[in-house]
Amino acid sequence: MSVPTATGSAHHVTTTADLGPAAALSCRECGERFPLTPAFACASCFGPLEIAYDLPLGDPEGLRRRIASGPASIWRYAPLLPVPADVADKPNLNPGWTPLVRADRLAAELGVTGDLYVKDDSGNPTHSFKDRVVANAVEAARAFGFTTLSCSSTGNLAGAVGAAAARAGLRSCVFIPHDLEQGKVVMASVYGGDVVGIEGTYDDVNRFCSELIGDPAGEGWGFVNVNLRPYYAEGSKTLAYEICEQLGWRLPDQLVVPIASGSQLTKIDKGLKELIATGLVEDRPYRIFGAQATGCSPVSQAYKAGHDVVRPVRPDTIAKSLAIGNPADGPYVLDIARRTGGAVEDVSDEQVVDAIKLLARTEGIFAETAGGVTVGVTGKLIEAGLLDPSLTTVVLNTGDGLKTLDAVAPTTGPSAIIRPNLDSFREAGLAS
């Protein structure tokens, strides 16, 4: 193995890091391999780096038993993640192992005749899938000797990083646009870490963080979504693992996944391929569908136009957790959707709200706007004949409605206001 210097390498690198089955960083474009360091871009071609593994092959039954006897968290999959074997013994938020909800009432409304499930990630410690990725980044931070956990964020990630750092006993310092809603600032700062508001847009925040990584002012800092990104992103694979294990070690026929940067969708595909490679599931076709809000749908637009590249857009949608106008993994998403026989589709903000309320009234799940996007897109794909309603389908809800109350506030409210007596109640027309 050649050992060129990867870009994005940081200070205080411990090269003897114990990251379990992780074997190397590997370039998604040219395949060049690098040692496990806090790096994110290939030194040869600047392509994105991801983790390559020494996977546990040849004994799927033993591996299934090992997983089944593990904790009720993502750490049951430690043999497939860039984490040490004793990860569950260290103080961490233990995210994952969230419910796969059989959604018969939603299925009936959508005209699905096969088995429909919602993977409900609002059950995570800070109520979004971000806890999965951040937990993996924390282990990388520990392995590389970082003492401060950091990120650029539009709000949700800042809270997930603050919480994870608090539990792990690490300092945190997160960067957000200065004009965020107060609720998100409260969530980010309640864990006691530093929260820095940047006078500028999220793009300015991101650019500043990249600058800080190369400067002594950021020495010893692990930015979960920058210099720890390859480790961080692996956390999304656990969604694929859990879905298949919860289905009885079986691949679903179809998955509907939201697209922000596109990272989650590509890692779910990677996770499914690893399950096939290790023999944990039978090798058979699956289709991955991507879901965007129309107000930020660069990947959907590229898909429909038959393009291989994604043209950046300026986001304008209530689905703020998906509002990345220039999605780094967009081209990979297009490739996966086409290769697996899936598709990419988008829905309007009005459809997002309707879908949030549909999921709430049929299954009692109050989803974040991103969940409205996937449920809404599922309905649209069925109407278009692109998603087969007779097959087993899993729709992801990656966040919690409590964080995006404003999206549904204008169209919810009391059925009636009455005086506290039976006559007044009967007049309201709600009596038995």
Closer residue to its own copies, CB minimum distance, 207 or 250? 207
What is the smallest separation between the CB atom of 337 and its own copies, expressed in angstroms? 31
Closer residue to its own copies, CB minimum distance, 159 or 330? 159
Contacts of 432 by beta carbon, 8 Å cutoff, 6+ apart: none
- Judging by DSSP bridges, how do beta strands 148-152 and 100-102 pair with one another? unpaired
What is the smallest separation between the CB atom of 383 and its own copies, expressed in angstroms? 22
Contact 253, 114 (CB under 8 A): yes
Q: Which of 15, 16, 61, 199 binds its own copies (CB under 8 A)?
A: 199
Q: Which of 29, 86, 104, 283 binds its own copies (CB under 8 A)?
A: 104
Closer residue to its own copies, CB minimum distance, 154 or 266? 154
What is the smallest separation between the CB atom of 429 and its own copies, expressed in angstroms? 10
Q: Name the DSSP class of 238.
A: H
Q: Which of residues 129-168 bind its own copies (CB under 8 A)?
A: 148, 159, 162-168
Q: Which of residues 209-238 bind its own copies (CB under 8 A)?
A: 211-212, 215-221
Closer residue to its own copies, CB minimum distance, 101 or 240? 101
- In this structure, the dihedral spanned by the alpha carbons of residues 80, 86, 87 and 92, taken in order and rounded to 10 degrees, is 160
Q: How far is residue 372's CA from residue 384's CA, in Å, rounded to a whole number? A: 18
What is the smallest separation between the CB atom of 347 and its own copies, expressed in angstroms? 18
Closer residue to its own copies, CB minimum distance, 2 or 415? 415
Strand partners, 257: 290
Q: How far is residue 139's CA from residue 238's CA, in Å, rounded to a whole number? A: 15
Closer residue to its own copies, CB minimum distance, 285 or 420? 420
Under rule CB under 8 A, residue 109 binds its own copies = no
Which residue, among 30, 70, 14, has the nearest Cα to 238 in the 3D structure? 70
Contacts of 22 by beta carbon, 8 Å cutoff, 6+ apart: 36, 51, 52, 53, 81, 82, 231
Q: How far is residue 148's CA from residue 174's CA, in Å, rounded to a whole number? A: 10
Which residue, among 26, 82, 76, 23, has the nearest Cα to 53 in the 3D structure? 23
Contact 176, 195 (CB under 8 A): yes
What is the smallest separation between the CB atom of 194 and its own copies, expressed in angstroms? 4
What is the dihedral sign for C-alpha 388, 394, 396, 401?
positive
Q: How far is residue 372's CA from residue 292's CA, in Å, rounded to a whole number? A: 10
Q: Which of 65, 311, 339, 426 binds its own copies (CB under 8 A)?
A: 426
Under rule CB under 8 A, residue 87 binds its own copies = no
Q: Which of 196, 304, 384, 390 binds its own copies (CB under 8 A)?
A: 196
What is the smallest separation between the CB atom of 196 and its own copies, expressed in angstroms? 5
Closer residue to its own copies, CB minimum distance, 163 or 323? 163
- Token pair of 103 as six digits: 């959604």
Q: Which of 4, 31, 62, 192 binds its own copies (CB under 8 A)?
A: 192
Under rule CB under 8 A, residue 248 binds its own copies = no
Segment interacting with its own copies, rule: CB under 8 A, options 74-82, 261-269, 326-334, 353-361: 353-361
What is the smallest separation between the CB atom of 415 and its own copies, expressed in angstroms? 4
Closer residue to its own copies, CB minimum distance, 41 or 134? 134
Segment interacting with its own copies, rule: CB under 8 A, options 282-290, 363-371, 377-385, 388-396: 363-371
Residue count, binding to its own copies (CB under 8 A): 89
* Phi, psi values for residue 402, rounded to 5°: -60, -25
Q: Which of 195, 280, 344, 396 binds its own copies (CB under 8 A)?
A: 195
Q: Which of residues 267-326 bind its own copies (CB under 8 A)?
A: none
| CA 426 centroid distance within chain | 47
Residue 130's Cβ-count burial label (10 Å; 0-12, 13-18, 19+) is buried
Which residue, among 73, 227, 223, has the nearest Cα to 161 in the 3D structure? 223
What CA–CA distances, in Å, run from 353 to 69, 315, 402? 40, 17, 14
Q: Which of residues 386-425 bind its own copies (CB under 8 A)?
A: 400-403, 405, 408-409, 412-422, 425
Q: How far is residue 375's CA from residue 118's CA, in Å, rounded to a whole number? A: 9
Residue type, 213: I
Closer residue to its own copies, CB minimum distance, 31 or 192? 192
Closer residue to its own copies, CB minimum distance, 66 or 171? 171
Closer residue to its own copies, CB minimum distance, 248 or 414? 414
Q: DSSP readout, 110-142?
A: HT--S-EEEEEGGGSTTSBTHHHHHHHHHHHHH
What is the smallest separation between the CB atom of 101 and its own copies, expressed in angstroms? 8
Segment interacting with its own copies, rule: CB under 8 A, options 312-320, 340-348, 362-370, 383-391: 362-370
Q: Which of residues 19-38 bind its own copies (CB under 8 A)?
A: none
